[in-house]
Amino acid sequence: MFNKIKHRNTKQRKVILEELKKTTLHPTAEMLFKMVKKRSPKISFGTVYRNLNLLKEQGQILELTCGKDSCRYDGDITPHYHFFCLTCKKVFDLNISVLDKEEKLYKDIYKKTGLAIKYHRLDFYGYCKECEIKMKEIKKSDK
């Protein structure tokens, strides 16, 4: 309870956060590793992971739901939802309203189940435009 750690501003952490904030690709740790490597060539994979976990705990970034694939990270921490392309694995931001019934819904669930919700996640899945076009072309040539 009194193990307050004073984190330092290392060059690596700064670069990781900056690179993540400046992209909308919702990169995986590996993608980000490559991006960061351009500015900090000696950085290691472990450092990227350690910092992503730290920044996540500090609430400076978000870790999106990852399936069996690797996690995606988001430097945009304003509440918003995502669309995941089932084919190419791209992740898109959705500009729809975040459940404003949030509080009511949370209370409803609490009343019904006794479960106190901290946060929720609403993910949409489908095929992005590019992939849909590709799929149509494949179907055509199959006939």
- Cβ of residue 56: shortest distance to DNA, in angstroms? 9
Give how many residues touch DNA by CB under 7 A.
29
Closest CA to 45 of 32, 60, 55: 32
Distance (Å, whole) CA 25 – CA 89: 10
Distance (Å, whole) CA 91 – CA 122: 13
Q: Site for DNA (CB under 7 A): which residue of 1, 2, 9, 57? A: 9
* Binding segment (CB under 8 A) for a copy of itself, from list 16-24, 31-39, 40-48, 104-112: 104-112
Cβ atoms of 74 and 28 within 8 Å: the answer is: no
Quick one: 49 or 127, whose CB is closer to DNA? 49
- Cβ of residue 38: shortest distance to DNA, in angstroms? 13
